[in-house]
Amino acid sequence: MSTPTPKITPLVDPVARPGPVNNPCAACAIRDLSVCGALKPDEISRLNAIVVQKTVNAGATLFIEGDPADAHYIVLDGCIKLYKMLPDGRRQITGFLFRADFLGLAFRQRYAYGAEAVSTATLCRFPRERLEALLDEFPEMERRLLSISSSELASAQDQMLLLGRKTAAEKLASFLWLLSKRAALKETDWRRLDLPMMRSDIGDYLGLTIETVSRTFTQFKKSGLVSFTRPDAVQLDDIDALAELAGVEESWQPSTAM
């Protein structure tokens, strides 16, 4: 379940050059969405000096639970899943990361979870020691990290409510709602969602089996809530019904990170 079969789409330049030659961070489109935005224009080169850009294929493992935590990452593109496992192989996906999301909170010696690429993904990799040294220097960056950490905590609490108290249909509706909100924040059309992750990932995220995920999708199709062109592209036809199922209160501001 965890040894992946890498696929073959290295679309992005595997390793970018840090250092003075060019200054990719300065031109970074998502800088202001993440911790990097805490630095003033003339300080950006400090980041550039420690970052290495990295592309991983779908299915590739970034690290597993228990690995020495020697780096933090920011997702530039693609989708990463974080997960924890029980000794017998049962798995819980604790989150999906997309563009601009931070990976590596939990400042400890070892990662408390595994990370694997759902689709081909590009990340900025910051050596742990050196990034944390920058935090000492730039309190504003630490402030941002605290803010990110707080949002993730809030999302985690939402997810606990989902896992502990929602039915299969409510879980799936909440999942679609969440993806839709994220899509709306970015450029994408929020009615038409990509589902880069497979059914087993969705199941492991929602505390369900593949079969239940599939059956619930069919049920949604029959009720006119959603429609599919391909299994990995869903159209939300009745957002209100989905929101109702998800248990979303009116005027609710969903958390930014999953």
Binding mask 49-78 for DNA (x = CB under 7 A): ------------------------------
**Residue 85: beta bridge partners?**
91
Per-residue b/e over 217-247, b at no fewer than 16 CB within 10 Å? beebeeeebbeeeeeeebebeebebbbebbe
Strand order in the sheet with 192-194: 192-194, 233-236, 226-230
- Residue 159 lies near its own copies (rule: CB under 8 A): yes
Minimum separation from the CB atom of position 185 to DNA (A): 24
- Distance, CA of 138 to CA of 204 (rounded, Å): 38
Give strand ranges (E) for 118-191: 121-127
> Among residues 78, 112, 108, 77, which one has the least CA distance to residue 94?
112
86 binds, among its own copies, DNA, none (CB under 5 to 8 A by kind): its own copies
Interface pick for its own copies out of 101, 116, 201, 204 (rule CB under 8 A) = 204
- Distance, CA of 108 to CA of 104 (rounded, Å): 9
Taking residue 10's Cβ as centre, other Cβ atoms within 10 Å add up to: 12
Binding mask 137-176 for DNA (x = CB under 7 A): ------------------------------xxx-------
Select 210 or 248, whichever has its Cβ closest to DNA.
210
Binding mask 136-155 for its own copies (x = CB under 8 A): x--x--xx-xxx-xxxxxx-
Minimum separation from the CB atom of position 23 to DNA (A): 36
Which pair of structure tokens corresponds to residue 64?
A: 């597993």
Residue position matching structure tokens 């990799």? 125
- Residue 85 lies near DNA (rule: CB under 7 A): no
- Residue 249 lies near its own copies (rule: CB under 8 A): yes
Binding mask 87-106 for its own copies (x = CB under 8 A): xx-xxx-x----------xx
Residues 207-246 that bind DNA (CB under 7 A): 207-215, 217-218, 228, 230-232
228 binds, among DNA, its own copies, none (CB under 5 to 8 A by kind): DNA
Amino acid at site 106:
A
Q: Which residues bind DNA (CB under 7 A)?
A: 5, 8, 167-169, 198-200, 207-215, 217-218, 228, 230-232
